[in-house]
Amino acid sequence: MKPGLRVLFTHHPDGSVTGCLLLKGWAEQIPSSFGASEEAVLAGLEQLVTDRLTDDSGAMDAFLWDEQLSVRTVQFEINPLSVVDKRWVIGRDTIPLRMSFAWSRLPKGGYRVLLPRFNWWFILEDLESAAQVLRQAVSSELLGRQAASLFDYRDLGEVRVLEWTPPLLGRRRRERGLPNTYEAFPTLRAVAEERVERSRRRRSRLVEPPDLRPHAHLWERETPASILLVGGPGVGKSTWIEALAREFSRRRKGATGTSPRIWSTSAERIIAGMMYLGQWEQRCLDIIHELSHEGDYLDVGQLPALLDTRTGRSSIADFFLPAIEAGDLSLIAECHPREYEQLKTRAPVLLAAFNVIPIAPTSTTAMPGLLRAYQGRVNPRLELRPEALRRVVQHLELFRRDTCFPGKGFRFLDWLNQQYGHDELAALTQRPSPSPSSSPSQDAAEPPPATGRSGEEPSTVLRGPDASAAFSRYTGLPLELISEETVAGPEQLAARLREGVVGQDKAAATAARVLARFKAGLDDPERPVGSLFFVGPTGVGKTELAKQLARYMFGDADRMIRLDMSEYMLGGSAQRMLAVGPGVESLAERVRRQPLSLILLDEIEKAHPEVFDLLLAVLGEGRMTDAAGSLVDFRMTLIVMTSNLGVSERGPAGFGGDDEGARERGFDAAVRRHFRPEFFNRIDFVVPFRSLSPADIQRIVGLELAAMAKRTGLARRGLRLEVSEAARATLAEWGWHPTRGARPLKRVLEEQVMAPLSVLVARRPKLRDQSVWVRTHAEPGPRAPRPGAPEPVLLRLPERPPSTVR
């Protein structure tokens, strides 16, 4: 059978289809697509495959199969989390799940079994044992998950595998015709890629390659010395390795025709698929055997990941260290400066085996020139004027502290060229050109547009304001928060926050102070953007203000990472916040994927003391070390904690009384008593929330009704909600609870307004373009506007409140 791709199709109940390529080796990203049909999915996948092959003709090797794949399903019984006596335990009841797996018969006996949902694969002697093996593996992985999250793993539709080879893939493989130079490295070919050969096939995008000459003695010796690159994310560690690969490639073309190879892999790739006792250890020994006396480098990526304990007390570093010291293995590894300081005490013997090369970030003064040269190389038709380049550097310096120059500058330009290649870029730059008399001084002094490598003139030019607008879209931060032209003081920011939160003006003003400090660049660059402790009664708007902060800062409430701290009450549960790996949704992984985010720690007082120990480093230094020993940067996050501490205590005037100061001091004292001083002193602001008044509840009713009126079903039918003042007052009264605040309000509105309206629409499907009047039981109904007009649509509230809110 000719090698080709295998597409796993999943047909969903709504008729849509998802397709992804099945992975035989290892890859950082798995191409996938979504569409209305299998043909649409294949069209999307073909574009992704084409893009990969354009950059690297060998990029799809890990996805090539010469085996016939089939699909089977397996049933699972999972024990979810349950609550017993207000404590989370693994429940007695089970939830049934069904998952699909792919399998193929191997030429030399046995079966390959793949579980795409977890990116797992196994080699089994007998296919009939697949169900039992998968049940054990998946049940262990999902044991103790919340019941609601388990349903995300269900396979509800048809699943099938298609053999597929797009035309470009077949042509590229025939044209490439790679020689069998690497037949002596079967293990390395399975877990690594050879970068020197790849650099020969790919065009260099290096603007200013690093100077390798001071370190040439490390690889010119008979046995190359191991190298440790120390620097923050984005400083150019990967660029340094790419430059070394190109240097080795240049030597191959020279008089000698030989040079070391660089095999790139990672700890995750080395252990991928190694499920049984002794498998990954044997793979490490095979790698050492294949590289012994070859003079090649093994690029292992992050050094702390090699120290992660795999089974028992052993790690990959334990197997590699003797070979490194004996000269049989030469490594290239990377780590963060803080990780390097930790490794001095954690693994001093391992560090002694490396030659350390520190890589410093590029200065902000040099970045505009680098960015200008890089842009001219990758896309000469789009030019950023000097003022725009200065804006980009300034914005990245202030608002993307989680990565370093030059990497974050190049990544922004890559995004800019990809996103603004067509209509969006034209819309961004369609503004009247300033006349010479009114142009800013920086524009008047700017040189003429630069030409690209082919001599072509740029067709689009970005100036300073354009760069700020593009950066706003890139990060999600509002333009008024990053732009120097827009005035946004604490008062304006507080007004924006009050648009979605009722009755908490002081709390909104305090949160606005944090945003104003962030805009001015006066916040501590080594700590999170801010840490706010919201304290007050239930149902008064603490969570809603956190959502409003996320909406304002990032344009989307989904950029909020919410953790229910009651799930972290038990000893050892803090480790779940540090977990890493495929499919893991821990705090560390989510912040690593989205450094610009708001973190909501709900009911923080319920967490185990271990959680507070972990948060000390986050609040104080803006960093966390995950389970693999890698640093996660929290310096661009806004941390919000909520609590009900002090609510049960009565101040001098009681909650809701006139003594606002006494109530706030009571909250502050309760927080101080509950938390250790070193934790409390790392909080920027303790923000008290007051009880809501009847007028506040009625305003919330108005906001909720306005949101309901925009629902698709009403807008499509042209139906308008007309709710009388008396009805609003009644709904507000029913939606307020002495201990739960306004929490019941949404349920009351759904039950008393939307549910009856749904019944009415179901009974009258032709109802269109009318007002729906909501009245109390005692109010008179509306009259027809004119003789012969349709009867008004009327919904009446019941005389008594529903039993669900009593």
CA 198, chain centre distance (Å): 29
Encode pLDDT of 213-256 as tens digits: 999 999 988 789 999 999 999 999 999 999 999 999 988 766 55
Higher confidence at residue 177 or residue 641?
A: 641
Judge if 335 and 395 occupy the same domain. no
Answer yes or no: is pLDDT of 469 > 70: yes
Q: Please give the pLDDT value at position 340.
A: 95
The mean per-residue pLDDT over the stretch 450-458 comes to: 54
Percent of the chain residues past pLDDT 70, beyond the cut:
85
Q: Please give the pLDDT value at position 432.
A: 41
pLDDT bucket at 436, cuts 50 / 70 / 90: very low
The mean per-residue pLDDT over the stretch 702-719 comes to: 93
pLDDT bucket at 369, cuts 50 / 70 / 90: very high
Q: Please give the pLDDT value at position 655.
A: 38
Q: What is the DSSP string of 362-397?
A: PPTTTHHHHHHHHHHHH-TTEEE-HHHHHHHHHHHH
pLDDT bucket at 177, cuts 50 / 70 / 90: very low
Pairing type for strands 87-90 and 95-105 reads unpaired
Q: What is the DSSP string of 150-198?
A: HGGG---S-EEEEEE--HHHHHHHHHH---STTTT-HHHHHH-EEHHHH
Quick one: DSSP state of residue 753?
I
Residue 498 sits in a domain whose CATH number is 3.40.50.300
Percent of the chain residues past pLDDT 90, beyond the cut:
53
Going by C-beta distance under 8 Å and a sequence separation of 6 or more, which residues neighbour residue 769? Answer: 717, 718, 719
The mean per-residue pLDDT over the stretch 737-762 comes to: 89
Element (H, E) at 220: helix 217-220
Which CA distances in Å does 201 have to 109, 252, 303, 340?
37, 13, 28, 34
List for the chain the helix, strand, coil content (%; round to 5): 45, 20, 40
Quick one: DSSP state of residue 786?
S
Q: For residue 560, count other CB atoms closer than 10 A to its CB.
A: 20
303 lies in some domain: yes
Going by C-beta distance under 8 Å and a sequence separation of 6 or more, which residues neighbour residue 213? Answer: none
Q: Which of 173-182, 206-215, 617-626 has the highest mean pLDDT?
A: 617-626
179 lies in some domain: no
Instruction: Name residue, tokens 């049989």.
Output: 328
| Per-residue tokens: 607 | 């967490």
Answer yes or no: is pLDDT of 69 > 70: yes
Of 207-211, 589-593, 669-673, the one with minimum mean pLDDT is: 207-211
The mean per-residue pLDDT over the stretch 542-554 comes to: 93
Measure the CA–CA gap between 287 and 271, rounded to whole angstroms: 12
Judge if 291 and 229 occupy the same domain. yes
Measure the CA–CA gap between 106 and 123, rounded to whole angstroms: 9
Cα atoms in the Cβ-side hemisphere of radius 13 Å centred on 669:
11
Encode pLDDT of 495-539 as tens digits: 999 998 999 999 999 999 999 999 988 999 999 999 999 999 999
Contact indicator for 84, 137 with CB cutoff of 8 Å: no
| Per-residue tokens: 533 | 């402790």
Q: Please give the pLDDT value at position 431.
A: 47
Q: What is the mean pLDDT of the chain?
A: 85
- If DSSP states are collapsed to H, E and C, what string results for 510-571? HHHHHHHHHHHCCCCCCCCCEEEEEECCCCCCHHHHHHHHHHHHHCCHHHEEEEEHHHHCCC
Measure the CA–CA gap between 747 and 735, rounded to whole angstroms: 8
Judge if 476 and 577 occupy the same domain. no
Across 590-599, b (16+ Cβ under 10 Å) vs e yields bbbeebbbbb
Q: Is the peptide bond before 792 cis (omega within 30 degrees of 0)?
A: no
Measure the CA–CA gap between 331 and 297, rounded to whole angstroms: 6
Judge if 268 and 127 occupy the same domain. no
Q: Which of 341-345, 425-429, 799-803 has the highest mean pLDDT?
A: 341-345
Measure the CA–CA gap between 711 and 706, rounded to whole angstroms: 9
Strands, E assignment, 303-339: 330-335
Quick one: DSSP state of residue 607?
S
Of 34-43, 50-59, 235-244, 579-588, the one with minimum mean pLDDT is: 50-59
Judge if 509 and 637 occupy the same domain. yes
Higher confidence at residue 630 or residue 154?
A: 630
**Sign of torsion, CA 370 375 380 384?**
negative
Element (H, E) at 418: helix 407-419
Cα atoms in the Cβ-side hemisphere of radius 13 Å centred on 112:
20
450 lies in some domain: no
Which CA distances in Å does 408 have to 411, 412, 529?
5, 6, 19
For residue 119, list its beta bridge partners. Answer: none
- The vertex-658 CA angle with 656 and 662, nearest 5°, equals 85
| Per-residue tokens: 424 | 């969006």
Q: Please give the pLDDT value at position 653.
A: 32
Which CA distances in Å does 299 have to 192, 195, 330?
9, 9, 9
Judge if 474 and 511 occupy the same domain. no
617 lies in some domain: yes
Q: Please give the pLDDT value at position 257.
A: 56
Q: Please give the pLDDT value at position 161.
A: 92
Q: For residue 274, count other CB atoms closer than 10 A to its CB.
A: 16
pLDDT bucket at 442, cuts 50 / 70 / 90: very low
pLDDT bucket at 422, cuts 50 / 70 / 90: low
Which domain range does residue 274 map to? Answer: 186-358
Answer yes or no: is pLDDT of 143 > 70: no
Domain count, the chain: 5
Quick one: DSSP state of residue 612?
H
| Per-residue tokens: 454 | 């082919």
Judge if 321 and 227 occupy the same domain. yes
Answer yes or no: is pLDDT of 80 > 60: yes
Among residues 304, 334, 358, which one ends one of the domains? 358
Contact indicator for 649, 674 with CB cutoff of 8 Å: no
Q: Please give the pLDDT value at position 606.
A: 95
Q: Please give the pLDDT value at position 433.
A: 39
The mean per-residue pLDDT over the stretch 560-566 comes to: 96
Quick one: DSSP state of residue 87?
E
Judge if 153 and 218 occupy the same domain. no
442 lies in some domain: no
Q: How far apart are the first and last CA of the chain?
A: 70
Measure the CA–CA gap between 243 and 247, rounded to whole angstroms: 6
Q: Coil, strand, or helix at residue 200?
A: helix
Quick one: DSSP state of residue 752?
I
- Burial (0-12, 13-18, 19+ Cβ within 10 Å), 317: buried
Answer yes or no: is pLDDT of 73 > 90: no
Measure the CA–CA gap between 463 and 446, rounded to whole angstroms: 11
Judge if 726 and 787 occupy the same domain. yes
Judge if 557 and 584 occupy the same domain. yes
Q: Please give the pLDDT value at position 504.
A: 95
Q: Please give the pLDDT value at position 738.
A: 78
Judge if 16 and 44 occupy the same domain. yes
| Per-residue tokens: 194 | 């050879």
Judge if 348 and 213 occupy the same domain. yes
Answer yes or no: is pLDDT of 453 > 70: no
Answer yes or no: is pLDDT of 445 > 70: no
806 lies in some domain: no
Measure the CA–CA gap between 235 and 238, rounded to whole angstroms: 9
Measure the CA–CA gap between 753 and 735, rounded to whole angstroms: 13
Higher confidence at residue 458 or residue 299?
A: 299
564 lies in some domain: yes
Which CA distances in Å does 767 have to 13, 148, 509, 717?
29, 37, 45, 7
Among residues 308, 342, 358, which one ends one of the domains? 358
| Per-residue tokens: 712 | 């698709």
Among residues 143, 172, 201, which one ends one of the domains? 172
Q: Coil, strand, or helix at residue 587?
A: helix
Contact indicator for 688, 663 with CB cutoff of 8 Å: yes
Q: Please give the pLDDT value at position 652.
A: 35
Which CA distances in Å does 447 have to 100, 386, 430?
61, 8, 21
385 lies in some domain: yes
Encode pLDDT of 589-637 as tens digits: 999 999 999 999 999 999 999 999 999 999 999 999 998 888 999 999 9
